[in-house]
Amino acid sequence: MLYLVTGGAGFIGSHLIERLLELGHEIDCLDNFNDYYDPKIKYSNIKKCNDFDNFKLIEGDILDEELLDQIFRQQQYDAIIHLAARAGVRPSVQQPKLYQEVNVRGTLNLLEKAKEQKIEKFVMASSSSVYGNNKKVPFSETDSVDNPISPYAATKKACELIGYTYASLYDISVTCLRFFTVYGPRQRPDMAIHKFTKLIANNKEIPVYGNGKVKRDFTYITDIVDGVLRSIEKCNGYNIYNLGESDVIELMDLISIIEKYLGKKANIDWRPRQPGDVDITYADVSKAKTELGYNPQVSIEAGLKKFVEWFKT
């Protein structure tokens, strides 16, 4: 199969592409290598992919409609796997227009191409952020997501709605995957586990916002990749799936496990709670288990051990 993967040089995208290439698929990776974090990290992420003859890197932006026209004139894709986005809750509060432009208009541009080219499968990354501060846990795909508390979350909900519209109007199968705090080797440096590990290792203070009792459903990268692969295979009609570990841990307990595997104590810099932060993320993955065969395998303890081992290399 020939797939276009947007945001393919990022953390999740690069792991997914490596697996797809190993399975023998042909991959075009579209990434703009923006400066949200050091672009050198993204080039390093896909270094292994360059060894495959069935891999092609396209440096460009999903907002560049002329480039998209050129790409889709040259190839007839079996599916679009859309991971490109401006990520992060807190930065979206500072730059809401940028997040709307990239996440919503960028997704619309790709759905237009899927419509024009009659591409039957469109799998896109959504986020657990759409649940906001829902009081009912664990979060289920049937829960109301009408109260996002960050521009990032609002853009992801908007993309799901646009995806539904295109699935209904143009007979495109659209699958939206609500990722729950993905971590593992090559995780973005701004994410909590990577940032905390680096700061503790270097004897620097780690910022903890609020009381440290927020809870997160951390999901190891191999489980996410497995879920994405299954969703591509079974993409049919319009569907939303939670992809999480379906387990939660308090932030301070997370820090304790990182301390254990680093063999160092953390110095905490207590800070006020930040706008847009939610109290808990917790995935009900029963739908993904039933319909996709998704079955997360890596506990937070085992995953953190793997991450710290990678960090030390």
Residues with catalytic function: 152
Cis peptide before 39 (omega within 30 of 0): no
Indicate the SS3 state at residue 174: strand
Spatial separation of the C-alpha atoms in residues 70 and 75, rounded to whole Å: 9
Residue whose tokens read 């829960």: 143
Relative orientation angle of helices 106-117 and 65-74, to the nearest 10 degrees? 30
Neighbours of 191 (CB within 10 A): 17
Spatial separation of the C-alpha atoms in residues 41 and 167, rounded to whole Å: 35
Query: Which value, in Å, is the radius of gyration of the alpha carbons in the chain?
Result: 19
Residue whose tokens read 């799998």: 123
